[in-house]
Amino acid sequence: MSYRNLRKLLLALGFLVVFVYAAYTGADLPKNGQYVDRLSGKAVPIDPSVTFEYGKPIQIAYVVDGDTAQLINGEYVRYIGIDTPEEFDPRKPEQCYAKEAAAENRKLVQGQYVVIQKEITERDKYGRILGYLYLSDGTFVNKKLVEDGFAFAYPYKPDTAKADEFAAAEVAAKEAKHGLWSVCTTYRLSGGREQTNDLGR
């Protein structure tokens, strides 16, 4: 398969994800190549002609949740090494601090230019770009979300070069009772992944 055809396929899969996401969340579907950000009411243009490259600045068009965002070209990026409470997973109830994590991610990156650095794996099984995000002022987005108590450290092999750095940030956030550590009950799944309690429990 040629690169062009592969890119078209990935974009089509991306829009399918958006449709499913919108069905569960009530988010506005793209109209005439745009989203409408429900918080600001502003139109967010999507330009598939923009080419993504690791290490080069690209604009974040839309924040999906605490650890996932959509790039200006319509592709999605999943922040590696961290995990935030789930807000829109149709398989389970909304988790404690999910909305706050999404809002913080939105405040940090929506509309901003970021540089995405890869480690080993370039895409996950859903076709999302995987990477570490840096703002133009040097802010390391993945780590900041953990430091401020909006995300857990979540090492996932083979992309674990920054696992110790994220783990230390989580310990500091927990000790200082930042963010979710001040209001949520947390527990660890059998595979080691941390979760917050479902809302209402």
Is 128 an active-site residue?
A: yes
Distance CA 151, CA 100 (A): 10
165 classed as catalytic:
no
Full domain range(s) for residue 88: 3-196
Question: Lowest-confidence range among 70-74, 138-142, 188-192?
Answer: 188-192
pLDDT of residue 93: 84
Q: Is residue 25 part of a domain?
A: yes
- 121 falls within a domain: yes
For residue range 168-182, what is the model confidence (pLDDT) as tens digits? 999 999 999 999 999
Whether 108 maps to a domain, the answer reads: yes
**29 falls within a domain:** yes
Residues 6+ apart with CB under 8 A from 147: 169, 172, 173, 178
Tell me the CATH number at 143: 2.40.50.90
201 occurs within a structural domain? no
- pTM summary value: 0.79
Residue 146 domain-assigned (yes or no): yes
Concatenating the DSSP letter of every residue in 176-193 gives HT-GGGGT--EEE-TTS-
Residue 101 has pLDDT above 80, yes or no: yes
Sequence-separated (6 or more) residues with CB below 8 Å from residue 101: 65, 66, 67, 84, 85, 87, 145, 150, 151, 180
Catalytic residue among 75, 87, 100, 128: 128
Catalytic residue, candidates 75, 86, 104, 147: 86
Confirm whether 194 is a catalytic residue.
no
Confidence at residue 12, expressed as pLDDT on a 0 to 100 scale: 55
Counted domains in the chain:
1
